[in-house]
Amino acid sequence: MLALLKSIIYAAADLYAHRRRYIVNANVFAVIVIAITLPYPFIYLYLQVDVDPWILAGSLIFLGAYAGVILFNYLKLHTLSKLLFFAAAVCQLFAICVIFGKETGLDQFFFAAFVGVFFVVDRYQRILIIPALAVLTGEYLLIQYINEYMGPIARISPETAQTIHYISTGAVFSLLGAQCLYFYWGNQRAEAELENARHQSDRLLLNILPEPIADELKRTGSVEPVEHDSVTVVFTDFVGFTASSETRNPSDLLRELDDCFSAFDAIIEKFGLEKLKTIGDAYMFAGGVPVDLSENAVRCVQAAKEIVAFVDERRAKNERFWQIRVGVHTGRLVAGVIGRKKFIYDVWGDTVNTASRLEAAGEPGRINTSAETYELIKNNFPCTYRGEIGVKGKGPLPMYFVG
């Protein structure tokens, strides 16, 4: 029975989440109104209300109309379903209030109908809300006027009217309570979904931007560029990657590259450094951005040594695996966010260019540093002076191998 009821309620509710919810709401309300309408003829008969049996049989018309609401939804005639729902509710309310009079309290169902409008009209049909509320309000006032100057069509004793009033009050309060609970649960579910979506959005944003930068972007909508006095920039590049890409399966190649970069990510995260970007098989990270970091040169070299060790370990298992060059330089630069649709946190300045040149002038399996970085790490790592080596666009530069 429950499975059948569930299949009826979810009839044709296969649209995306927003409209699906309102279609289900309309089906739920149709089932509820059918459940409330169905016992009333039997209640009137039990209470021996003096009313034409044909009028009581008219309830079948309304029951059929509410069943039609579910049928139209099943046929994907959703707007027609809503119009039928409103038409049936308006006609039924008018009929029962005129037939049975004010003393039965049946006019209280207008309150539930007024609230119910907001549960079945989605934002694509919101043009229906104001007319529906206006019609219900006008009809309620008209019913009050008619009942004031005209007695009920059905002949009902005061005691019977009072009994029906109690039953109607209980039904209306139950319906309003169900509506409120449904709204509360729906609101709680929506809040949980929004919170989950916000966390997912934050996680995605933190995958491309440092946390302080992401916070600033969410708070102000933009990120001001910042000049940093001492930042260590590291470039790595695989030796022989381009040649191997011409002979190896692309999927296998990218899988190995992903494994390496994932390991690099874990290493720099351990040392509190910031990954900036990858360009092909090149990997770039820095220490000292977006916030100042003490001993950033030492941390960067420690991370670089672990990266070289990781690659050497992979190469020991497979001599065809690539080797890696590493270049490190420390200096001033500007950091910030560029782009409007696809954000990227990046750094600019001569420091970046010099680090790139140091990587290109290095040797496989070695960490090549500038004199500026050497002065900051010489007490922590043994270094070998290479002399002054000419680089493109910079002339001869003093360089040091770490270790």
Task: Return d(Cα 80, Cα 37) in angstroms, integer.
Answer: 22
Task: Return d(Cα 284, Cα 299) in angstroms, integer.
Answer: 14
Burial of 343 (0-12, 13-18, 19+ CB in 10 A): middle
**Residue 208 located in a structural domain:** no
CATH number at residue 340: 3.30.70.1230
**Residues 172 and 256 both lie in one domain:** no
Give the pTM: 0.62
Task: Return d(Cα 297, Cα 376) in angstroms, integer.
Answer: 6
Structural element, H or E, at residue 188 = helix 158-208
Q: What residues have CB less than 8 Å from 202, skipping those under 6 apart?
A: 214
**Residues 300 and 172 both lie in one domain:** no
Nearest by Cα to 36 from 191, 153, 138, 167 = 167
Which segments of 101-154 does DSSP mark as H helices, in order?
Answer: 109-120, 129-149
**Residues 366 and 245 both lie in one domain:** yes
**Residue 397 located in a structural domain:** yes
3-state secondary structure of 41: helix
Joined together, the tokens standing for residue 201 give 């959005």
**Residue 277 located in a structural domain:** yes
Task: Return d(Cα 231, Cα 330) in angstroms, integer.
Answer: 5
**Residues 269 and 193 both lie in one domain:** no
**Residues 376 and 301 both lie in one domain:** yes
Burial of 224 (0-12, 13-18, 19+ CB in 10 A): exposed
The domain total for the chain is 2
Task: Return d(Cα 239, Cα 368) in angstroms, integer.
Answer: 15
- Name residue 349's amino acid: G
**Residues 237 and 182 both lie in one domain:** no
Determine how β-strand 323-338 pairs with β-strand 367-370. parallel
The domain boundary residue, chosen from 203, 237, 258: 203
The residues of the chain scoring below 50 in pLDDT are none
Q: What pLDDT is recorded for position 14?
A: 59
**Residues 362 and 252 both lie in one domain:** yes
Q: How far is CA 45 from CA 36, 134, 160, 169, 377, in A?
A: 16, 34, 11, 19, 97
**Residues 309 and 254 both lie in one domain:** yes
**Residue 220 located in a structural domain:** no
Query: Is the link from the previous residue into 290 a cis peptide, with omega within 30 of 0?
Result: yes
- In contact, 89 and 33? CB cutoff 8 Å: yes
Which residues are registered as beta bridge partners of 92? Answer: none
**Residues 244 and 196 both lie in one domain:** no
Q: Which domain covers residue 357, as residue numbers?
A: 225-402
Q: What pLDDT is recorded for position 371?
A: 96
The domain boundary residue, chosen from 203, 238, 258: 203
**Residues 42 and 186 both lie in one domain:** yes
**Residue 213 located in a structural domain:** no
Q: What pLDDT is recorded for position 55?
A: 67
- Show contacts of 136-145: CB within 8 Å, 24+ apart: 136/90, 136/110, 139/90, 139/93, 139/94, 139/110, 140/107, 140/110, 142/94, 143/93, 143/94, 143/97, 143/98, 143/107, 143/110, 144/102, 144/107
**Hey, what's the torsion of the CAs at 184, 188, 189, 193, to 10 degrees?**
150
Nearest by Cα to 276 from 341, 219, 361, 349 = 349
CA atoms within 13 A on the CB side of 304: 34
**Residues 136 and 281 both lie in one domain:** no
**Residue 214 located in a structural domain:** no
**Residues 239 and 188 both lie in one domain:** no
3-state secondary structure of 155: strand
The domain boundary residue, chosen from 203, 238, 260: 203
